[in-house]
Chains A and B, each alone.
Chain A
Amino acid sequence: MSFLFITSIVLFSLGAISGFFFRRDPKAAQMTSLGFAIAASLAGAIFSLSALAAPAPFEISFSSVFSAPLFSFFVDRLSAFFILLTSAAGVIVSIFAFGYLAHGKYSAARTALLGFLYNLFLCSMILVAAADNIITFLIVWELMSILSYFLVTYEHEKSENLKAGFLYIVMTQVGTVFLMTAFFFLFRETGSFQFSDFRAAGALLPELVKNIVFASALIGFGMKAGLVPFHIWLPEAHPAAPSHVSALMSGIMIKIAVYGLLRFIFDFMGGEVVWWWGLLVLGAGALSAVTGVLYALMEHDLKRLLAYHSVENIGIIFIGLGSAMLFAAFRYDALVGLALTAGLFHILNHGIFKSLLFLGAGSIGRAIGSYDLEKMGGLAKKMPFVAVFFLIGVMSITALPPFNGFISEWLVFQGLLYNLMIAGLAVKITVVVSIALLALAAALALACFVKVFAIAFLALPRSDIARQAKEASVSMRVAMFFLAFLCVMFGVFPFIGLSLIAPVIDEFHLSNSVESGLFFIFPDRYLSTAISPPAVLAIFIGLVAVIGVAAMAIWGRHQKRKSPTWACGRAIEPRMEYTATGLAMPFRLMFAGIYRPTHNIERETLDGTGYLVKTVRYEEKIEPLFEKYIYRPIVWAVETASAGARKIHTGNINLYLGYILATLVLLLLIFV
């Protein structure tokens, strides 16, 4: 089926340029580019499914086409898993985009540009997962970054989008430098650009080089994934892009970074993990989880909030990864598979439900023109389909049974429980702290999404734009339905998702502890911990049915009536409702030590007497800690150094010629 891989790339390329053929008709430009994207993604999905099932990996190398081995692609099961994720998301998000982009506000040229960027972006993500060679990898990695930069700044009318894009591209470039460092050391030790050669030599690297490679890879990929403390670009960049692109960025692109790290650790290093690597990753993951959700609680812009939750979930994925690395380092080989399964399943699940949530946010944004939570309200009555799908997404991300988020979080907890068996005080204490932080993050996420769903969808609309909201168009609903369906399916029948992951674990020659059948999953075949989601669902439905029928039999039909809400004798108004800020207030007070909010109160009085107050204005600002204490000083240092270095630019040609002479003399002195 390897021809499908090439077909997919060709279709993506066609989709990219197809838009430009329709100079007059933006609609046609859009439909063709999206159509090609769907076809290409479908091809990619089928290809990756067959690659997962196939016993031997696919190798597609263009070294025969170009004389030097410049472009070579190698799709093993790990790559196939990520290609599947990307392609499936590509199909569904493209379907969504039909309705989302149908507003027709942009000219044909601009629409064609979006089609170009979108198709190539999807293609580049697939190529990153398939790259087999340092040069190929770096080229498509940079391509992915640049394309996503243009997508982030697509709506360039708003200056904050431009700022967000700038921050994003700077952080990405810094990350790429670290990646290049890691690759450089691997090249130096093995003398080759091919990944296949690293596999053999990676395990034999000297200790220091190994640590440098790991650290550089962690920082480089961590920056792209949004790991704390490298996450500051995520809440700026993801909201700036159009919503369907945000879904792809949050759902897929940050996972491609995790793919990179997985490739480094489990493939190149051959699973020879140094013990403190696992601790570092585990600690960073736990910290990300809590930081992401703490700042998400304080956000009232829906897309920024979702972006912070991506930081949180990357944290959970890294917790699973760190857990696996600890097992690998201490030779609990049977359990590495468990923790890795947990991490990979969470990657899959997060891709699904985060996309669902961003698509929902996109629907809301399209319906009311704003993403501000404080302006929403009562949307459940105006947009019932979106409400139901969004609710499923919310219940999945907060890990409530019977949805898919619960299964992967349960597996992560199981991994952490078995981590406690590892000897060594430092390990045990770190694991215990990680468990506590994970539990805290999960609970805070529940609180945050209560806020999101309740303020956006329930009670009365808080503004005129919310009052005029209309249901989302068909294609948007269809796309969200698919994702919601996947959430339910992977939650009630997790073996379907786990069967996609088992081949990946097999490939690393790890014994897969997670055994899943139609009705159960066993995290470790040697102990009998298990859960059975279908059984739980059956019990739930059974009990509700029994009580409902019994009540009806004994006491007759359930009578219902509607009446206005009691508001102490007045008619209820939207101003009486709880606001998002109000719901988050207890958390703001409890965690004030972390948030360090600054307050500002302004009172305007009549006649300047100071007693008859006309207006009171209360402003509270929370500046994220990492920005204040880490990044601002770094930026200040860089700017000061640059300003100092600028002094040698005097604009005087004679001086510049003098510099050249001085350098020449110096070089002659040194080398002669």
Chain B
Amino acid sequence: MNEILSSILIILLQAGILILGAPLARGFIRTLKARLQNRKGPPLFQSYFDLIKLFQKESVASHNSSFIFQIAPWIIFGATASSALFLPVIFRFSPLWFSADIILIVYLLALATFFMALSGLDAGSAFGGMGSSREMMIYSLSEPAAILSIFAVAYSAGSTNIANIVEYFFANPSALFTVGNIFAFLALFIITLAENKRVPVDNPATHLELTMVHEAMILEYSGRQLALIEWASALKLTIFFVLLANIFFPAGLIGALSLGGILFALVVFALKIGILAAMVALVEGSIAKLRLFRLPDFIMIAFALAFIALISGFFM
């Protein structure tokens, strides 16, 4: 009984922190960026206020749209949230991790992207189509780099299973500071910017045709459906942060269920996510958004780094 209870508690805690805490990460980036730009910026919890407001409002759908428009927000949220359950947040293990495969996570996020792109085209407006087209372009460029950097990590750990990877790095801490890992981390950081449509790939704050990819696809959504999609995209960003933080720097993950341990791990987790968020905010504040057809150049950097990451593992 105790076993089952602690298992459920572990799952709930990790899921809860990630899913409920996701909007906070986004809010933190926004506030930090504002401060860097000498503005005051919105309150830290603004994302939560937005979500609560949107959940109460009605959703309007276009006459032209089909069942895809209605089911897409749920599928996007479900897919993203499901992949969140397979990640190490504060614990080194979780009973769900018999199925926690990094490739599975990548493809669950691809499922969300697929429905997002479809829903952008469903209303028949040109903005949505443009957003979907650009989204697929960016996605297809970043996939090879993402898979290669994942394979770089998986190759050194011997498996693509998250539990195995975390255990391997706990057992061999010196394997964390290899060149391959550093390159993979940098490549994944660039992919994080690309997949989550941050500057320099896309500007999440504007609604101009020039600078919309993600915002263009969700332009037609409103109310509860929009709340689900916004939550899912905040969650996706946090998922990438968790991958960067807890795969490459697994310090602070605890092995047992204890109140002191949980608090400690939470603090370390918040610190790691905070640093990553600060890095993103810094990059967003200092680089200008790239022209759409300069994006292949940018994402190719990630590909080159990921490729070198994988092959440098062969020669150690």
Residues of B within 8 A of A459 (CB): 64-65, 121-124
Known A-B contacts A447-B140, A532-B98, A539-B85; A578 and B104 likewise in contact (beta carbons under 8 Å) = no
Query: Quick check: is B107 within 8 A (CB to CB) of the other chain?
Result: yes
Mark each residue of chain A from 484 to 521: 1 if its CB lies under 8 Å from any CB of chain B, else 0: 00000000000000000000000000000000000010
Query: Quick check: is B223 within 8 A (CB to CB) of the other chain?
Result: yes
Residues of A within 8 A of B50 (CB): none
Query: Quick check: is B264 within 8 A (CB to CB) of the other chain?
Result: no
Main secondary structure of the interface of A (DSSP, over half): helix
Task: Report the bound CA distance from A444 to B303 in whole Å.
Answer: 16
Known A-B contacts A440-B143, A443-B140, A447-B137; A380 and B67 likewise in contact (beta carbons under 8 Å) = yes
Contact A565 B124 (CB under 8 A): yes
Task: Report the bound CA distance from A559 to B63 in whole Å.
Answer: 16
Contact B307 A450 (CB under 8 A): no
Contact A399 B99 (CB under 8 A): no
Closest A residue, CB atoms, query B104: A531
Query: Quick check: is B136 within 8 A (CB to CB) of the other chain?
Result: yes
Known A-B contacts A562-B61, A576-B125; A586 and B134 likewise in contact (beta carbons under 8 Å) = yes
In whole Å, how far is A420's beta carbon from the nearest beta carbon of chain B?
A: 5
Mark each residue of chain A from 432 to 457: 1 if its CB lies under 8 Å from any CB of chain B, else 0: 10011101101110110011011101
Query: Quick check: is A460 within 8 A (CB to CB) of the other chain?
Result: yes
In whole Å, how far is A657's beta carbon from the nearest beta carbon of chain B?
A: 67
Residues of A within 8 A of B143 (CB): 439-440, 442-443
Contact A454 B307 (CB under 8 A): no
Known A-B contacts A543-B81, A565-B62; A578 and B96 likewise in contact (beta carbons under 8 Å) = no
Mark each residue of chain A from 312 to 354: 1 if its CB lies under 8 Å from any CB of chain B, else 0: 0000000000000000000000000000000000000000000
In whole Å, how far is A374's beta carbon from the nearest beta carbon of chain B?
A: 13
In whole Å, how far is B13's beta carbon from the nearest beta carbon of chain A?
A: 15
Residues of B within 8 A of A574 (CB): 124
In whole Å, how far is B235's beta carbon from the nearest beta carbon of chain A?
A: 11
Residues of A within 8 A of B134 (CB): 586
Query: Quick check: is A200 within 8 A (CB to CB) of the other chain?
Result: no
Closest A residue, CB atoms, query B101: A531
Choice from B77, B126, B132 contacting A544 with Cβ under 8 Å: B77
Known A-B contacts A410-B104, A436-B307; A578 and B148 likewise in contact (beta carbons under 8 Å) = no
Query: Quick check: is A583 within 8 A (CB to CB) of the other chain?
Result: yes
Contact B66 A548 (CB under 8 A): no
Residues of B within 8 A of A155 (CB): none
Mark each residue of chain B from 285 to 315: 1 if its CB lies under 8 Å from any CB of chain A, else 0: 0000000110010000001000100110010
Mark each residue of chain A from 393 to 429: 1 if its CB lies under 8 Å from any CB of chain B, else 0: 0010011110000100010011001001000010011
Contact B125 A567 (CB under 8 A): yes
Task: Report the bound CA distance from A387 to B69 in whole Å.
Answer: 14
Contact B126 A578 (CB under 8 A): yes
Closest A residue, CB atoms, query B66: A380
- List which A551-571 residues lie within 8 A (CB) of chain B: 551, 554-556, 558-567
Binds A, one of B111-119, B177-185, B251-259, B268-276: B111-119
Closest B residue, CB atoms, query A530: B98
Known A-B contacts A535-B99, A576-B126; A565 and B220 likewise in contact (beta carbons under 8 Å) = yes
Residues of A within 8 A of B7 (CB): none
In whole Å, how far is B116's beta carbon from the nearest beta carbon of chain A?
A: 10
Residues of A within 8 A of B133 (CB): 578, 582-586
Contact A454 B98 (CB under 8 A): no
The A/B interface has a contact count, at CB < 8 Å, of 249
Residues of B within 8 A of A444 (CB): 140
Task: Report the bound CA distance from A564 to B63 in whole Å.
Answer: 5
Choice from A380, A454, A527, A543 contacting B158 with Cβ under 8 Å: A527
Known A-B contacts A439-B147, A446-B136; A458 and B99 likewise in contact (beta carbons under 8 Å) = no
Task: Report the bound CA distance from A536 to B96 in whole Å.
Answer: 9
Known A-B contacts A406-B107, A447-B139, A529-B161; A436 and B147 likewise in contact (beta carbons under 8 Å) = yes
Contact A572 B117 (CB under 8 A): no
Query: Quick check: is B36 within 8 A (CB to CB) of the other chain?
Result: no
Residues of B within 8 A of A454 (CB): 117-118, 121-122, 132
Task: Report the bound CA distance from A532 to B128 in whole Å.
Answer: 35
Main secondary structure of the interface of B (DSSP, over half): helix
Task: Report the bound CA distance from A528 to B162 in whole Å.
Answer: 10
Known A-B contacts A400-B110, A417-B155; A447 and B307 likewise in contact (beta carbons under 8 Å) = no
Contact B136 A577 (CB under 8 A): no
Contact B161 A536 (CB under 8 A): no
Residues of B within 8 A of A457 (CB): 66, 68
Residues of A within 8 A of B107 (CB): 399-401, 406, 410
Find the residue from B64, B81, B110, B144 having the highest chain A CB count within 10 A. B64
Residues of B within 8 A of A559 (CB): 58-59, 223
Choice from A406, A551, A556, A582 contacting B129 with Cβ under 8 Å: A582
In whole Å, how far is B211's beta carbon from the nearest beta carbon of chain A?
A: 16
Residues of B within 8 A of A585 (CB): 133
Choice from B79, B96, B118, B228 contacting A450 with Cβ under 8 Å: B118
Residues of A within 8 A of B91 (CB): none
Task: Report the bound CA distance from A574 to B121 in whole Å.
Answer: 12
Find the residue from B103, B117, B146, B224 having the highest chain A CB count within 10 A. B103
Residues of B within 8 A of A414 (CB): 160
Task: Report the bound CA distance from A585 to B129 in whole Å.
Answer: 12
Instruction: Please list the residues of chain B having a beta carbon within 8 angstroms of any beta carbon in chain A.
Output: 55-56, 58-68, 70, 74, 77-79, 81-82, 85, 96, 98-99, 101, 103-104, 107-108, 110-111, 113-114, 117-118, 121-126, 128-130, 132-134, 136-137, 139-144, 146-148, 151, 154-155, 158-161, 163-164, 220, 223-224, 228, 292-293, 296, 303, 307, 310-311, 314
Q: List 25 A-B contacts (CB under 8 A).
A: A413-B103, A420-B314, A425-B314, A429-B311, A432-B148, A435-B147, A436-B147, A436-B303, A439-B147, A446-B139, A457-B66, A458-B65, A527-B161, A527-B164, A528-B98, A528-B163, A535-B99, A556-B56, A561-B59, A577-B129, A578-B130, A582-B133, A584-B133, A586-B292, A587-B140
Instruction: Please list the residues of chain A having a beta carbon within 8 angstroms of any beta carbon in chain B.
Output: 378, 380-381, 384, 387, 391, 395, 398-401, 406, 410, 413-414, 417, 420, 425, 428-429, 432, 435-437, 439-440, 442-444, 446-447, 450-451, 453-455, 457-460, 520, 527-532, 535-536, 539-541, 543-544, 547-548, 551, 554-556, 558-567, 572, 574, 576-578, 582-587, 589-590
Return the 7 tightest CB-CB contacts between A and B, nearest first.
A578-B129, A459-B124, A443-B143, A559-B58, A447-B136, A454-B121, A439-B147
Supplied contacts A391-B68, A530-B98, A586-B133, 11 more A-B pairs, CB within 8 Å: A395-B114, A436-B144, A446-B140, A457-B66, A458-B121, A520-B98, A544-B74, A561-B59, A562-B60, A576-B124, A578-B133
